[in-house]
Amino acid sequence: MATLAMPARATAAATVELTVLMPCLNEAETIETCVRKARRFLERAGVVGEVLVADNGSTDGSQALAQASGARVVQVGERGYGAALMGGVRAARGRYVIMGDADDSYDFERLDPLLERLRAGFDLVMGNRFKGGIKPGAMPFLHRWLGNPVLSLLGRLFFNIPIGDFHCGLRGFSREALLSLNLHCPGMEFASEMVVKSAVNGLRIAEAPTTLSPDGRSRAPHLKTWRDGWRHLRFLLLHSPKWLFLIPGAALIAFGLLGMVVLAPGPLALAPHLVLDVRTLVVACFALVTGTQLMVFSALGRRYAMNEGFMPPANAFRPLLAALTLERMLLGSGLVLLLGCAGTAWAIGAWAASDFGPLISGGLTRLLLVSLTAVAVALEVGASAFLASMFTLRR
């Protein structure tokens, strides 16, 4: 009964156009309603399709209820939202898959906008609840006004993804395209992984308005606001070394270099009672060291991601990463180290010549600060060059 508009013996994977997929964990209160709505959509739209329930270990009889309502049920042993969905995608027979939660918050009778865009050639079609409408009580206050808007903004900023609802649970995709992404997050962050990796790998993405209604369950949802929100944010940051490391690092380096150039010759009076001196120079030196470390982390993250193949490097970084060989990095850091050591030695020698008098705010203190900063930066870059080369060792 799971496949519609075709003889029972003709149920071949190549002939099924659409699989409506629902992950399920103890959804006895709503699974029948969701399955029946999805079947009515397939019948009304004349789509050769199936309703597939990926059960993640329900103990309330959800499996039998889903089967009795006309769904095909597959058991997924690995626990988690993402694990259940990927198990369902692998078992799906349709060319396209539209997934949605089995809590009756999405209207499975109105899947036409998603299917139309899939047929038009888009690889991933995201539902947009903010455009389609959020009914009273359907979304918690923090999710609606903080969590979803902030995470969606970061997704657009980090990955240039043209969607406004990053975490809508109703979405459609090409089964073949999705399987090619090698998704592996077992938890709720799977929702972010799907979108991010689709964008990084150049898949065509669109969105369609969808309505969110209050779910039909009497129990609390599986989603945990702070825990799962952090998981989504963590995933976005880990897959964007540019925003996690590169941009903050570049800003700190710019501030540090500016401060050192301005203050190394002497104090700078900005106003009668505002003079920038050695203390500000110390801050600039710390900023330069910290910024260098963040830039190094960015390069290491890109190198690791490129070697492991889970995040292709941006075209702008390919020539730079190729040019950052161990020998070139060691040569550059070696020159900086020599200059730093020479300045440090000269400062110590001059200090000794003055019988090791107090180092307060004189030129000797400035030289020592700048020289020691150069030594620290050189050691950071040199050590990181060896670490980066370890990433290229063959297993």
Q: Which of 186, 166, 183 shows the shortest CA–CA distance to 310?
A: 183
Tokens matching residue 68 = 């009795």
Is the domain of 234 the same as that of 248?
A: no
Q: Which of 341, 337, 329, 343 shows the shortest CA–CA distance to 295?
A: 329
CB 165 within 8 A of CB 130: yes
Owner of token pair 């597939």 = 52
Last residue of a domain, one of 214, 238, 262: 238
275: β partners: 269
Last residue of a domain, one of 238, 269, 304: 238
Is the domain of 257 the same as that of 328?
A: yes
Q: Where are the beta strands (DSSP E) in 163-232?
A: 171-174, 205-209
What does the pLDDT read at residue 364? 84
Is the domain of 310 the same as that of 364?
A: yes
Is residue 395, in this structure, part of any structural domain at all?
no
Burial of residue 347 (CB within 10 Å: 0-12, 13-18, 19+) is buried
What does the pLDDT read at residue 11? 43
What does the pLDDT read at residue 8? 40
CB 142 within 8 A of CB 151: no
Instruction: Show the domain range for 228.
Output: 8-238
The whole-model pTM stands at 0.76
Crossing angle of the two packed helices 225-238 and 190-200, in degrees rounded to 10: 20
The span from the CA of 390 to the CA of 305, in Å, is: 13
DSSP string, 128-167: EHHHH-B-TTSS-HHIIIIIHHHHHHHHHHHH----S-TT
CB 34 within 8 A of CB 22: yes
Is residue 310, in this structure, part of any structural domain at all?
yes
Cα distances (angstroms) measured from residue 339 to each of 132, 211, 374: 62, 64, 7
Q: What does the DSSP 8-state code read for residue 185?
A: -
What does the pLDDT read at residue 206? 95
What does the pLDDT read at residue 309? 59
What does the pLDDT read at residue 5? 42
Is the domain of 165 the same as that of 210?
A: yes
Q: What does the DSSP 8-state code read for residue 88?
A: H
Q: 199: Cβ–Cβ under 8 A, 6 or more apart, which residues?
A: 159, 160, 161, 205
Is the domain of 87 the same as that of 170?
A: yes
What does the pLDDT read at residue 12? 45
Q: 328: Cβ–Cβ under 8 A, 6 or more apart, which residues?
A: none
pLDDT in tens, the chain (395 residues): 344 444 343 444 448 999 999 999 999 999 999 999 999 999 999 999 999 999 999 999 999 999 999 999 999 999 999 999 999 999 999 999 999 999 999 999 999 999 999 999 999 999 999 999 999 988 888 888 888 888 888 988 888 888 889 889 999 999 999 999 989 889 888 989 999 999 888 899 999 999 999 987 877 776 777 787 888 888 888 888 889 999 999 999 999 999 999 998 888 888 888 889 888 999 999 999 999 999 988 888 877 776 665 565 555 666 666 677 888 889 999 999 999 999 999 988 888 887 777 766 577 888 999 999 999 999 999 998 888 888 777 65
Is the domain of 61 the same as that of 158?
A: yes
Structural domains in the chain (count): 2
Q: What does the DSSP 8-state code read for residue 219?
A: S
Owner of token pair 């129990």 = 219
CB 308 within 8 A of CB 391: no
Is the domain of 70 the same as that of 201?
A: yes
